[in-house]
């Protein structure tokens, strides 16, 4: 097997707009199917994916949810949702709620670029420390966050449709906004 290389295709990072909603729904469906098939019960997984329609994403944007899109060759290839840390027992100021790439863009360095941009954005807005929650059974995501410097700070559990799942919480130290 050949080692994975970082692909350098023309990319851009930007805030999501209402025109992105269909692509966000598609990215979410593809990434969740890959990440959680076999982890979440089949019916539950399909139900959770089906909730994230174009209309759901439009509502999220209208409510002010922070969504950054990574475009590759002019087409959305991934997204991240982020904002203030929701974990009351943690001192982190920022949190990435979701970071997903189209499956054919995973493992190529695009997720790292998206993560770094979101982290920098949060730090510039006074949230220099960061937390991410990930299902413990999602070994690919756990490996990704460990590879980019995340420290496993705690574990917990999460209930979904009568199923108890492990939850891993990763944190990062303050990111300086100085050049």
Angstrom distances, CA of residue 63 to CA of 58, 117, 145: 9, 22, 28
**pLDDT for residue 5 is more than 60:** no
Per the DSSP assignment, residues forming a β-bridge with 69 are: 14, 79
Q: How far apart are CA 148 and CA 143, in angstroms?
A: 9
What is the pLDDT at residue 124? Answer: 94
What is the pLDDT at residue 2? Answer: 39
Q: Are 134 and 141 in contact (CB under 8 A)?
A: yes
**Nearest one of 71, 69, 63, 99 to 9, comparing CA atoms:** 71
Give the fold, CATH level 3, of 11-129. Aminopeptidase (3.40.630)
Instruction: Report domain extents, the chain.
Output: 11-129
Q: How far apart are CA 10 and CA 47, in angstroms?
A: 35
Number of neighbours of residue 174 by Cβ within 10 angstroms: 12
DSSP conformation class of 87: -
Query: What is the per-residue pLDDT across 20-70, written as a single tens digit (0 to 9) for each?
Result: 999 999 999 999 898 888 877 778 788 888 999 999 999 999 999 999 999
Query: What is the per-residue pLDDT across 120-176, written as a single tens digit (0 to 9) for each?
Result: 999 999 999 999 999 988 999 999 999 999 999 999 988 876 788 899 999 999 987
Q: Are 80 and 115 in contact (CB under 8 A)?
A: yes
- pTM of the predicted model, to two decimals? 0.89
Sheet holding 75-84, edge to edge: 11-15, 66-72, 75-84, 94-101, 130-135, 163-172, 151-160
């Amino acid at each position: 097997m050949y080692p994975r290389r970082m692909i350098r295709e023309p990319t851009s990072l930007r805030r999501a707009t209402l025109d992105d909603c269909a692509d966000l729904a598609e990215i979410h469906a593809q990434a969740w199917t890959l990440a959680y098939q076999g982890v979440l019960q089949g019916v539950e997984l399909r139900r959770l994916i089906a909730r994230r329609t174009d209309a759901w994403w439009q509502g999220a944007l209208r409510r002010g949810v922070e969504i950054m899109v990574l475009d590759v060759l002019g087409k959305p290839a991934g997204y991240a949702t982020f904002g203030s840390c929701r974990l009351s027992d943690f001192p982190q100021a920022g949190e990435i709620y979701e970071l997903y790439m189209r499956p054919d863009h995973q493992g190529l360095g695009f997720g790292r670029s998206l993560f770094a941009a979101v982290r920098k954005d949060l730090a510039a807005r006074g949230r220099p420390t960061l937390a991410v929650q990930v299902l413990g059974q999602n070994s690919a995501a756990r490996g990704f966050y460990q590879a980019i410097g995340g420290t496993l700070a705690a574990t917990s559990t999460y209930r979904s449709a009568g199923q108890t799942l492990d939850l891993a919480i990763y944190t990062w130290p303050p990111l300086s906004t100085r050049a």
